[in-house]
Amino acid sequence: MRVTLVQNDIVWEHPEANLLYYDSLLAGLTGKTDLVLLPELCTTGFSMKTAELAESDTDRTITTLSHMAVNYNMAIAGSFIGLASNGKDSYNRGFFLHPDGRRDFSNKRHLFRMGEETAHFLPGNDRTIISYRGWNIRLLICYDLR
């Protein structure tokens, strides 16, 4: 499997600018990669403004990136500020967007207390394993590795 790791200067708290950047980057990778790994909180940076920046799984970030995955025929993984089902709380929500349009999600389980993540995000409790092109991939976000 051909994997592309993206380490970019995220435009702070500006999802639209970051999505435009990813679109131009991924367009140039068509046919050259199978899976693109974007940074944690790839459209906002590590912001704690969860009330203003949280999005549902069907809002702009996931819809736009899923469209890119389908159009460029590659899987895209990363995380964003995901709105909890109660419409109030937030998760650091990991996503895995398949080139056939399927979407998988997993909320970060081990929040980074020293970065005040515990004051702004709920911890997840699922362990998501994704099958993609013959590989089983566990969706983890940063501090979940411990």
Three-class SS state of 24: helix
- Is the torsion defined by CA of 39, 42, 47, 50 positive or negative? negative
For the purposes of burial, counting CB atoms within 10 Å of the CB of 63, is it exposed (0-12), middle (13-18) or buried (19 or more)? Answer: middle
Determine how β-strand 75-83 pairs with β-strand 35-37.
parallel
116 C-beta neighbours (distance < 10 Å), count = 12
Residue in 40, 39, 38, 47 with CA at minimum distance from that of residue 13: 47
Residues identified as active-site:
40, 108, 142
Q: How far apart are CA 144 and CA 133, in angstroms?
A: 24
